[in-house]
């Protein structure tokens, strides 16, 4: 019989609350014959303060034993900026080779957007997850002096670029519009831009049905606001992807509904699914957080593990819930309950 061995990392702030609802909906959507086993891990600010550790080698070995990871949010104002980001989140992305950072943007009916005229928004961003300026390749000399020199080298390998570009083409091929846009800055970033553009054009020949397009990242931010309907699938570098997916979330319903997957398509290591939002310490513990982004991330998790029908039921449930939500204010738990009822139907 089928089974899912899931590592659960609620993390900090609202992470706890939203993950509880994500698990509730997961339990409700899974067929009887699927055995769900969960193990909770206490990573985050509390563990860091208690032990000084963010993620040990033993933790990594234990996480590896799972089929997937559900993460709430990691981060707290009591921990210096960057410690948990680099010591936990980025560390896991690198160790588990999460090279496909998948971030869908879909403006669902009834959801408010700051854009004029309720445009059609339905695209996915395939953000490279293990290279670019995120590798920690750089340094500083004369640090703290008026003559400080700091470098932050963007690492782009043919192997790394090709595998993410290939993944994006395959995703574009599987969608009705079959369109893939490369977002980069090849007019200025000559070396990395050359590599990305070359690989993109070469792989494109293997996907003749996919329409291709290229846009500089600065122009892409304009189109995301003025004409988001032009995008179907976007593939881009780690840092550009970080920036444009926040904008994409903002125009398509906000981070309350933005889901993401840190995916290792080979399944050699567990992939990790998380809402795009952070731990929001200002509203933590008040039952105010919208668990929809986490629930949608559970949907991405299920699709990754091959539970396509269940993933679709989750997306339909969130979509229906948002459409009927109107001005009603509900607690985190009430939204989770409503979604659990819907997916069980
Ligand atoms: C994200 C976050 C992370 C990133 C931070 C917290 C390191 O902004 O998941 O988009 O930059 O990738
Ligand atoms: Mn980000």
Q: Do 42 and 166 sit in the same domain of this protein?
A: no
Note if 42 is an active site residue. Answer: no
Nearest atom within ligand 1 for CA of residue 260: 9
* Assigned domain for 108 exists: no
Return the axis-axis angle of helices 332-344 and 308-325, rounded to nearest 10°.
Answer: 130
* Ligand 1 within 6 A of CB of 237: no
Asked if pLDDT for residue 292 goes beyond 90, the answer is yes
Q: Does the beta carbon of 85 sit less than 6 angstroms from any atom of ligand 1?
A: yes
CATH number at residue 10: 3.40.718.10
Name the band, by pLDDT with cuts 50, 70 and 90, for residue 325.
confident
Average pLDDT over the chain, rounded to whole? 97
Give the residue-averaged pLDDT of 197-207: 98
State both tokens at 295.
């629930």
Q: Binning pLDDT at 50, 70 and 90, where does residue 72 land?
A: very high
Residues 240 and 137 in one domain: yes
**Nearest ligand, CA of residue 127?**
1
139 and 265 both lie in a single domain: no
pLDDT of residue 51: 96
Whether 107 is covered by a domain: the verdict is no
Residue 166: closest CA among 251, 233, 91: 233
- The residue from 12, 232, 242, 321 that is catalytic is 242
pLDDT the model gives residue 324: 92
Average pLDDT over residues 326-336: 93
On whether both 163 and 73 belong to a single domain, the answer is no
**What is the rounded distance in angstroms from the CA atom of residue 288 to the CA atom of residue 265?**
34
Residue 119: per-residue pLDDT? 93
User: What digits encode the pLDDT tens for the residues 217-261?
Assistant: 999 999 999 999 999 999 999 999 999 999 999 999 998 899 999
Catalytically annotated residue among 12, 76, 185, 321: 185
Question: Residues 47, 120: one domain?
Answer: no
Structural domain including 133 reads: 113-252
CA of 328 to the centre of ligand 1 (A): 31
Instruction: Give the model's confidence band at 326: pLDDT under 50 very low, under 70 low, under 90 confident, else very high.
Output: confident
pTM here is 0.96
118 plus 241 within the same structural domain: yes
- Is 307 among the domain residues? yes
- pLDDT tens digits along 163-179: 999 999 999 999 999 99
**Does the structure show a pLDDT above 80 at 107?**
yes
pLDDT at position 268: 94
If one compares 231 and 117, the residue with the highest pLDDT of the two is 231
242 noted as active-site residue? yes
Q: Are residues 193 and 232 in the same domain?
A: yes
The closest-lying atom of ligand 1 relative to the alpha carbon of residue 238 is: 12
pLDDT digits (tens, 9 = 90+) for 131-152: 999 999 999 999 999 999 999 9
Residue 11 dihedral angles phi and psi, to the nearest 5°? 80, -140
Could you confirm whether 185 is annotated as catalytic? yes
Domains of the chain: total: 2
Note whether 179 and 230 are same-domain residues: yes
Residue 1 has pLDDT above 90, yes or no: no
Identify the residue whose C-alpha is closest to ligand 1 atom 9: 276
């Amino acid at each position: 019989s089928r089974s899912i061995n899931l590592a659960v990392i609620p993390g900090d702030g609202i992470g706890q609350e939203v993950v509880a609802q994500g698990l509730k909906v997961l339990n409700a959507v899974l067929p009887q014959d699927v055995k769900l086993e969960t193990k909770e891990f206490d990573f985050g600010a509390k563990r860091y303060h208690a032990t000084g550790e963010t993620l040990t080698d033993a933790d990594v070995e234990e996480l590896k034993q799972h089929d997937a990871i559900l993460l709430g949010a990691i981060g707290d104002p009591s921990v210096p900026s960057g410690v948990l980001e680099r010591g936990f989140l980025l560390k896991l992305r690198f160790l588990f080779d999460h090279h496909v950072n998948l971030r869908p943007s879909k403006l669902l009916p009834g959801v408010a957007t700051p854009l004029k005229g309720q445009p059609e928004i339905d695209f996915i961003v395939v953000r490279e997850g293990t290279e670019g300026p995120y590798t920690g390749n750089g340094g500083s000399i004369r640090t703290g002096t008026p003559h400080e020199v700091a470098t932050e080298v963007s690492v782009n390998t043919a192997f790394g670029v090709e595998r993410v570009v290939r993944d994006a083409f395959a995703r574009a091929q599987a969608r009705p519009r079959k369109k893939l846009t490369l977002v980069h800055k090849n007019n200025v970033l000559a070396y990395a831009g050359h590599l990305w553009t070359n690989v993109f054009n070469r792989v494109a020949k293997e996907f003749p049905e996919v329409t291709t397009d290229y846009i500089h990242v600065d122009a892409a931010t304009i189109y995301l606001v003025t004409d988001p309907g032009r995008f179907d699938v976007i593939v881009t570098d780690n840092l550009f992807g970080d920036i444009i997916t926040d904008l994409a979330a903002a125009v398509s319903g906000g981070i309350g509904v933005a889901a993401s997957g840190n995916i290792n398509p080979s399944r050699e290591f567990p992939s990790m699914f998380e809402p795009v939002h952070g731990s929001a310490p200002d509203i933590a513990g008040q039952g105010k957080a919208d668990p929809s982004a986490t629930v949608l991330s559970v949907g991405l998790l299920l699709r990754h593990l091959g539970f396509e029908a269940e993933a679709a039921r989750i997306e339909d449930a969130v979509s229906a819930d948002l459409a009927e939500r109107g001005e009603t204010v509900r607690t985190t738990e009430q939204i989770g309950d409503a979604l659990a009822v819907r997916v069980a139907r």
